Amino acid sequence: MTSMDVSILINSNRPWDEVVRIAQAVDDAGAHAVYVPDHFMPNTEDDSIVDGPRLEAWTMLSALSQRTSSCRLGALVLGGTYRHPAVVANMVASLDTLSGGRAIAGLGAGWQVNEHAAYGIDLMSPRDRSDRFEESVHVVASLLREPRTTFEGRFFRLHDAPNQPAPVQERLPVLVAGKGEMRTLRTVAKYADVWHTWGTPESFAAKSGVLDERCAEVGRTPGDIKRASGFFVEDLSDGAATVAPWHGVCEEFVFGDVGRPADELIGAVLAALG
């Protein structure tokens, strides 16, 4: 692996003018992607319901599609419990049109307890959530890739369903996030173009090896799935040094935003981009 893409996850609790300034700066510098999280309130250790502003993910991405020109745009990641997958597929295809072919379909199972409790959204048992998520990824991938989709599952049923307008990209990337070895990585192996999980270079490399095994089990070539990782970076003093250990481990490094001053975050990403 001779090169590595550099991307950023911009926290949705930032003021909108800061979000735009960060996104435009890294876009101009050649960042691969700008991601945003899909949450409605801060997470808490005791799962309590708390105040805290969070801009809605797809509204942010739609607006950023008109404020950037080359970076890819996606959620990291959409919570699988919050939206029907047919709605998600239409959202993603529409963003691809708005952005001129730059959308990423970032998908996750959902996990944040306090959000589900506050809004009455069923988080379900881990097993049911995993089953629902695999069906959801199947449906989204099919609607983005095929002219019509028929699907009969436990949670979702579609009959001869179109998704129009189709994405601009010939194969819009489906990104699946998570590290569960038995369920999530098998879903990645079946449907994803990109796999993401946070970690260290060592932990990511180990999980990546498991994904290779899951690919073999479903008859998929491991090299067909791009590997993306990164972490929430506290020390932004040397962006190039931050990403150096990840070369040869993943193909995309994502700077996770912990709320440091915007100029520090921009500087770190620009340094990593060289």
Helix axes 16-29, 262-273, angle to 10 degrees: 10
Q: What is the mean pLDDT of residues 167-192?
A: 97
The pLDDT tens digits for 90-145 are 999 999 999 999 999 999 999 999 999 999 999 999 999 999 999 999 999 999 99
Contact call for residues 233 and 256 (beta carbons, < 8 A): yes
Q: How confident is the model at residue 3 (pLDDT cuts 50, 70, 90)?
A: confident
CATH number at residue 83: 3.20.20.30
From 147, 149, 125, 126, select the one nearest 137 (Cα to Cα): 149
pLDDT surpassing 90 at residue 2: no
User: What is the structure's pLDDT at 1?
Assistant: 35
Provide the residue range defining the domain that includes 36. 5-273
Residue 214 identity: R
- Measured in degrees and rounded to the nearest 5, phi and psi for residue 150 equal -120, 130
Helix residue ranges per DSSP H, 65-191 = 85-99, 113-119, 126-145, 184-191
pLDDT surpassing 80 at residue 164: yes
Into how many domains does the chain fold? 1
Nearest-angstrom CA–CA distance, 40 and 114: 10
Share of the chain above pLDDT 90, in %: 99
